[in-house]
Structure 1
C-alpha cells in the first residue's frame, strides 16, 4: 500500500498525493540521491497485472524521456518496486511543476482575453509539435492538462493515454480514450488518431479560454461527443478579433485535412493572431509580458526550445469597448470583459488595453500567406461527420463510456497549486448552444500558415474593372468627417485613425455574413507589415469577397488594390489611392476555383487558382 514516507526503488520518497487519474496517482516526492523535488506517477495496483497497461506505461516513459521542450513535462526515470506488503508497483518519475491548471485560471477569471489565449495556444501547440515529431499523439489535450507557471509559461502534462504510431496494437479494441468536451470527431467515432487530433483538442481549449466554456456540452459524454461530430460551436464572444476567431475556427474543422497542417503551423498562426491583436495598442501601453519573441517554428524532438513568452499579464484598467463589427453573433455573451490574469513582473504596473483585451507585438518579417483552411482542401465548407460515424460512435461509447469523461476523472478533485504530470479532475464543461463559429472585431483577421515571398507593387492610381459604388467611399473619408453626396451603405470605422490602427475590419468591408477563409500578410523589406489581403466567403450566397486593409499610412491616400478572379471569368479589380482599404471585390464562386490578391505599401500578393469547392 502506498503511503507517505514510502521509498520506491531505494531512491524516491513519497510525501503527498497530489492527483489521481485514470491510470494512476501522482505523488509529490523527493529524489533522495539528487536531493530534488520530483513528481512520481504510480500505476494503479489493479492495472499492474494487466500486461497491456504496463506495456503502454513503460513505452510511454521511454518516448517521453526523449522529448526536450520547456513546454513538455520532463521524464527522469521509470521503474518497478515491491512494497512492504508484497504488492508490486510500476512508477514514472517526472519533474515537479509548480503551476496551476489552465482550467482553474479560466474559472477564476471567467474567460481570458484573446492575446493571452493565443499566447497559451502558441506555447502549447509548439510543445505538442515536439511530441508529434517523436511519433506521440497526446489524445487528451484539455485545460486541466495545461499547467500555467507563475511566470505565465505553459507546460503540457499527462501523456497517460498518449499513443505512439508504432504502438497501434497496444490499445484495446473499441476503447475510446480522451475527454468528451475536447474530443475530435475522428477520435469520437473510433477512427485513427493523428497530430490533427491534438490540434482539434487544442482549438477546443482555446474556445474554452475565450468563451469561458467548452464548445459543446450535454447530459452525458455520448451527447457531447455526438455534438462534436455533427454540430458547429456557437459564435465566440462579440469583440473577439477575427484573426483569433480564424485560428480557432480552423483548428475546429471537422475533417482533419481541413485543420492546420501541423501543430507548428498552429503555433505560428496563434502567435500571429496574438501579434495582430497587440498591433492596435500603442507600444507604451502594451502589457509588460507582451514582449517580442521568436515565432514558434519547427522544434526538434531533442534540443531544448527557446523559453516561451509569459502568457498572463496584470489586470488592465477598464476601457470602453469599441463598436462590434456588423456580423451578427448568436453565441452567449459573458458578462464583463475578460482580463489577463496572473502575477505581474516585479515593478510592473497595470496597463490599459482596448476592449479589455491584452495583446502582443508584431514580430515576424517577410510576407506570409495565412490560410484559415489548409491548401488543397475545400476551404469553404465545413464537413460534418454523420451517418455511419455517428453509429460507430454509439457503439464505441457503449463499450467505453467511462473513458469519455467530460472533464472529470473518477474520484478526482482539483489539484493544489503545485502540480505534476497528471490530469486534474476539473469541471471544464459549461453549457453552450450551437451556432455559427464566426465572429468579428477590431483587428485584421487571418491565420498564418505557409510563408510566401512578396514582390514590389507598382504605385500610383489605377482603375477598377468591376462596378464602382456611387456613394461616398469611407476608404477615402477621414473618420469623424462629414462626407457629401448620397448616404453610403459601407461600414463606419470602429475607431479613429489617429492612433494608426486601421479602423476597419475585413468583415466590415465585405459586409454581414462573410467569413475569413484565407489571408496574406504584406510585409516590406524593412520588416514592417504594410497590410493584409483577405479572402472572404459567404456560405449563404456562395459569394467570395476580397479586400486589402492598410496597416501603414492609415488615413492617408496611398496606392492599394484588391482583385478577385473566378476561373473562366474576367478578373475584377479595385485599385487606386485609398485611406483605409481597397475593395471590396465580390463575385459568386460557389464550386469554382478563384484567384485573389492585392497590393499596398509597395508589396503585392497573388494566389493561384484555389478554394475550388
Structure 2
C-alpha cells in the first residue's frame, strides 16, 4: 500500500495523494534527482496480471512522450517498482474541470466553446501520433488559473474497459462519457474521443450528464439506444448544433476530425465573445443566469435625484450631471450663460445583464450656473507684457506718422524754409517782411540805446 514518503524507482518520493480512479491513484511527488515537482500515476496491481498490459502501456507511454503540444501533459518516465507500475508526468497547477462543474453547476456557452477548442486541439495532436485517449472526461481536463487547459491520462483506460462496466463504481466516470461503439465492444477510434468531448460539452452547458442510470452498464447502454434530453433553451442554436453533431450515434455523422471540431468551437467562441462585448449577450461568467426564453430585459436609463428648488433656476436641478455629460465652460459675468437646447434622450439596446456605456441624459436637462466650469484665469504677467508691447507699438506708429507728415509738408516749401523750425532765411520778402510764409512770428529789428547794436524779437544780437 502506497503512502506519503514512499520512494518509487529510488528517485520519486510520493508527497500527497491528489486523485483516485478506476485504474489507480495520482500522487504529487518530487523528483529527487532533478529537484522538481512531478505527478506520479500508480496503476492498480490487478492490471499487471493481464497478459501484455504492462508492455503495451509502456509502449504507449513512449509514444505519448513524443507529443509536443501545450495542451498535452508531458510524460517524463515509466517504471515498475515493488510490483507497482507507475507513470511520471508533468505536474499541472490547476483544478480538474469536474471540480469546477461541481462548484458552479454549468458554464456559459462562450467559456464552454473555449475549453472544447483547447481539448480538441490536444486530442488532434495525439491522434496524429496514432494515440486514442479513450477516457475523455472532466476529471482528465485540468484547467490552469490562466484558463488554459491540459489533457491528461492518455491510454490509461484502454484495457478491458467494457468488461469492467459491471463493477459498480469502478469506471463510473468512463461509462458516463463512453461512445456507443465502445459500449458495444468495438475498437475505439479518434471519433470515439470526439463523442466523449461532445458529452463533456453537453455537461458544461446543461449542468448535468446526458444519461444517468442505476449502474455503469445501464448508463453505457443508454448511450447506444437513447437520445439525450435537449439542451436548455438559453443555449444558442449554433452551439446546440455543434454538440449534437459531436454526439451523433454513427461515427460517420460526427465531426470528421478533432481539428474540425476545434475550429468550429473556436469560431463560435469568438462570435459569442464579440456579442457579449457589444451588449448583445450576457457577459461570460462561471455560472450564467438562465433568463426566460424570448424575453429580453431592457435596462431603463437612470433618473437623477431632484434637488431643492434654486432661486437662480426655474426648475429642479440634479445633484450631479449624468455620467458621460460634459459641462459647458463658464461665461463672463457680463454675459449670462446661454441655455443649450436639450439633448435627445438615448435608448439603451435590448440586452441582458448590466447596461454598458455611459448613462443617458434626461430630456430637457440643462446645467445651472453653479454647475458651469469657471473660465480659466489669464496670467497677470502675460497681461503686463501685452500692455508694454501695445504701448511700444503705439509709440512706434506715432513716430512713423509724424515723420511721414513732416516730410509731406516740407516737400511743398521753398528752399531754406522748414516747417516747425526756428531758423529762417535772412532774405526779405517784397513786402519788407523777413518771416517765411506760415511762420507764427516775424523778426523785428529794434534799436538799442547806448550803442550801435540792434536786437531782434528772437533775442539774438546783431551788429
Distance 2:99 2:8 in 1: 31
Residues 541-580 of structure 1 show CA distances to partners (whole Å, capped at 9, x for unaligned) of xxxxxxxxxxxxxxxxxxxxxxxxxxxxxxxxxxxxxxxx
Give yes or no for the alignment of 1:217 onto 2:212: yes
Give yes or no for the alignment of 1:57 onto 2:57: yes
Residues 183-213 of structure 1 show CA distances to partners (whole Å, capped at 9, x for unaligned) of 1111111122211101001001000000000
Cα contact 1:101–1:148 (8 A) shared by 2? yes
The residue that corresponds to 1:193 in the other structure is 188
- CA spacing shift, 1:283–1:228, aligned 2, 3 Å: same
Cα contact 2:181–2:187 (8 A) shared by 1? yes
Residues 131-169 of structure 1 show CA distances to partners (whole Å, capped at 9, x for unaligned) of 111111111111111111111111111224355xxxxxx
Give yes or no for the alignment of 1:75 onto 2:75: yes
Q: Which runs of 5+ in 1 are unaligned?
A: 82-86, 164-169, 291-311, 326-352, 354-479, 481-492, 500-613
Distance 2:27 2:212 in 1: 32
Q: Where do residues 360-439 of structure 1 align in structure 2 (5 Å cutoff)?
A: none
Bigger-Rg structure (1/2): 2
Could you tell me how far 1:172 is from its partner in structure 2?
8.8
Give yes or no for the alignment of 1:41 onto 2:41: yes
Cα contact 1:80–1:91 (8 A) shared by 2? yes
Greater fraction of residues in helix:
2
Residues 53-88 of structure 1 show CA distances to partners (whole Å, capped at 9, x for unaligned) of 21232122112111111111110111222xxxxx33
| Among candidates 230, 251, 270, match of residue 225 of structure 2 | 230
Could you tell me how far 1:284 is from its partner in structure 2?
8.7
Using the size of structure 1 for normalisation, the TM-score is 0.45
Cα contact 2:132–2:193 (8 A) shared by 1? yes
Cα contact 1:244–1:274 (8 A) shared by 2? no
Residues 21-40 of structure 1 show CA distances to partners (whole Å, capped at 9, x for unaligned) of 22322211101111100011
The residue that corresponds to 1:202 in the other structure is 197
Q: Where do residues 38-437 of structure 1 align in structure 2 (5 Å cutoff)?
A: 38-81=38-81, 87-161=82-156, 179-282=174-277, 323=294
Could you tell me how far 1:7 is from its partner in structure 2?
2.1
Cα contact 1:145–1:158 (8 A) shared by 2? yes
Q: Where do residues 571-610 of structure 1 align in structure 2 (5 Å cutoff)?
A: none
Cα contact 2:191–2:251 (8 A) shared by 1? yes
CA RMSD in angstroms comes to 3.3
* SS of corresponding position for 1:273: helix
Residues 380-435 of structure 1 show CA distances to partners (whole Å, capped at 9, x for unaligned) of xxxxxxxxxxxxxxxxxxxxxxxxxxxxxxxxxxxxxxxxxxxxxxxxxxxxxxxx
Using the size of structure 2 for normalisation, the TM-score is 0.58
- CA spacing shift, 1:319–1:223, aligned 2, 3 Å: closer
- CA spacing shift, 1:173–1:127, aligned 2, 3 Å: closer
Give yes or no for the alignment of 1:26 onto 2:21: no
- CA spacing shift, 1:271–1:321, aligned 2, 3 Å: farther
Distance 1:171 1:89 in 2: 19
Distance 2:350 2:295 in 1: 8
